[in-house]
Chains A and B, each alone.
Chain A
Amino acid sequence: MSHQATAPGHGGGPGTDQKTTDAPVLNKAVPVRHPGRWLSAIIIIGALAALVQSMLTNTNFRWDVVGTYILDVKVVQGVGWTLLLTVISMVLAIVLAILLAFMRQSENPVLRWSAWGWVWFFRGTPIYTQLVFWGLVSVLYPKIAAGVPFGPEFFSFDTSTVITATVAAILGLGLNESAYLAEIFRAGLKSVDKGQMEAAEALGMGKTKIMWRIILPQAMRIIVPPTGNETISMLKTTSLVLAVPFTLDLTFATNALANRTYLPVPLLIVAASWYLLITSILMVGQYYVEAYYGKGVDNLAPAPMNPAAAKAAVARTQSTEAAPRSPEESS
């Protein structure tokens, strides 16, 4: 019983049993037929062809108008504003959601209940109502002042100069979204095995480090797919900012052009094409983010080997081959 560190890598390591002298005769079996697949393909391709044909031949689509306006300055600017609203509102929502999810897990009951109340309110009222409300804040509170309630005032400003239509739109979209994301983040945090937290605690890591370095990165695996979904949803929800009213986004731009030209259909196609393009780009992004956070679980791409150790392991395997029964194996 003197052996202590057993040599790793023995027992079917690479290159031990691979050398066969006779190449085997490969099986040639008749594959199973799948008539259902062929049938469904024919039906779907047929339907698509009919659709494309009708879209090309039906002159009411006015593809020439689509071509004229797809890169129109107003439209492209609208795309820019829509993207800007989506990104900034999402960032705001994610920051708030992480905060809310942590608050929900806190031992402090005040924080727990405030977070719960926030989610209750912003999830429980329509986004449209909230957007209109943010648009009206400057009417409701013409002046905002910071100070002690019923006490001295430190500074104040005119609401309309700070809560512009853009800010109102971002606040409306972001705060509403934060309530949904908070629930997604909470579910993600809860999905991480309790043992991970205990192992980190046992190593003497502090609460914040455990959250950011151990729990959250693993929760991201669960959080990213629905958050991607929410981002795509947000992209389209930005079309509601007219409620603020905010009048620079893609939907407003194409609607305005449609009203001017009396050609709603081609301009709807313009808008839809842009939304589809952005969604597709977001989906590609999501793929990479998912791959990143799936590492160690879903994404088991070849683990980088320590070169020196790999060399040593190969040397060991070779010496095992020379003397097939290593002392470790015979014990």
Chain B
Amino acid sequence: MMTVTTEEPLVKIEGLHKFFGQHHVLRGIDLSIKSGEVSVVIGPSGSGKSTMLRCVNLLETISAGRISVDGKLIGYREIDGKLHDLKTKEIAAQRRDIGMVFQRFNLFAHKTALQNVMEAPVQVRGQSKAAARTRAMELLDRVGLADRSGHYPSQLSGGQQQRVAIARALAMDPALMLFDEPTSALDPELVGDVLNVMKDLATSGMTMIVVTHEIGFAREVGDRLTFMDAGVVVESGDPREMIAHPQELRTQEFLSRVL
């Protein structure tokens, strides 16, 4: 283990801005996430949480600022202080080490749970089918769905689909996992299963950025809580401390509404 003082953050977001046309959605976000840290992001609807997350794996282009993951600049190559766009292939390569879990699951509808999990390891990493299958079954078992491996997404409940989606992301052995409101589209009684899988993942040391409305999850699992509003980080700190004693008025108002 390196000492804490010299440890570079795994994810470094510096001065991130995002425009959609004239719409200034992100207005200078700074955030660092250390390896193994669970960083929870909360904030009202439209505050730019999804947009920030999507910038990290380049589903959105970065209008201004820099994001680096594991010391590598995301989306650009810097030559003599000048930024050059990466090619599509290079961007794809950067995404391989970043797992993403979507609010609406986005499982491949024409593939079974097992095929969903095997797809990227075989097609992107070039693993053998046999090896990918064994690993996929392990992951499905880990999320409690080994007996659903042959089911198509439409035959699974929302909670089951989301757990398969988590397994699918994990199959690429990512260094970082992004969760965009993974439980918002679920019936209340299915939320627990998904949160349990995420807790398990956090315990195993995965670095995670989790956008969520589950304050309980932030309190229990989070290493850091960030409150965003109108495209800026309003407050960031220890989750338990911040939930109990929010410093900023906007944070207080938001927490009083969701708690």
Footprint of B on A, CB under 8 Å? Answer: 3-9, 193, 195-196, 198-207, 209, 213-214, 217-218, 293, 295-297, 300, 303-306, 309-310, 312-313
Contacts and interface: CB of A to CB of B under 8 A. Distances in A.
B89 A206 contact: yes
B213 interface: no
A274 to B, nearest CB: 36
Which of under 10, 10 to 19, 20 to 34, or 35 or more describes the interface residues of B? 35 or more
A8 B148 contact: yes
B143 A5 contact: yes
B152 A7 contact: no
Nearest to B57: A202
Contacts of A217: 110
B146 A306 contact: yes
A295 B92 CA distance: 28
A297 B109 CA distance: 7
Nearest to B171: A203
A3 B144 CA distance: 11
B168 interface: yes
Given A4-B200, A203-B169, A206-B92, A196 B109 contact: yes
Nearest to A107: B88
Contacts of A204: 92-97, 120, 124, 172
Interface in B95-111: 95-100, 102, 104-111
B223 interface: no
Interface in B140-180: 141-155, 160, 165, 168-169, 172
B196 interface: yes
B6 interface: no
Contacts of B22: none
B235 interface: no
Contacts of A295: 110, 152
A19 B115 CA distance: 36
Contacts of A198: 59, 102, 106
B197 interface: yes
A195 B106 contact: yes
Interface in B56-74: 57, 59
20 contacts: A4-B196, A4-B197, A5-B143, A6-B144, A6-B193, A8-B144, A8-B145, A8-B160, A195-B102, A196-B108, A199-B102, A202-B57, A204-B93, A204-B120, A205-B123, A206-B92, A207-B88, A213-B119, A296-B153, A313-B147
B110 A203 contact: no
Contact of A218 (B109, B147, B172): B109
A306 B147 contact: yes
In this complex, the member of A7, A200, A204, A214 whose beta carbon has the largest number of chain B beta carbons within 10 angstroms is A204
B39 interface: no
Contacts of B226: none
In this complex, the member of B99, B114, B152, B169 whose beta carbon has the largest number of chain A beta carbons within 10 angstroms is B152
B146 A4 contact: no
A14 to B, nearest CB: 11
A304 B144 CA distance: 18
A165 B28 CA distance: 67
Contacts of B105: 195
A205 B124 contact: yes
A214 B106 CA distance: 11
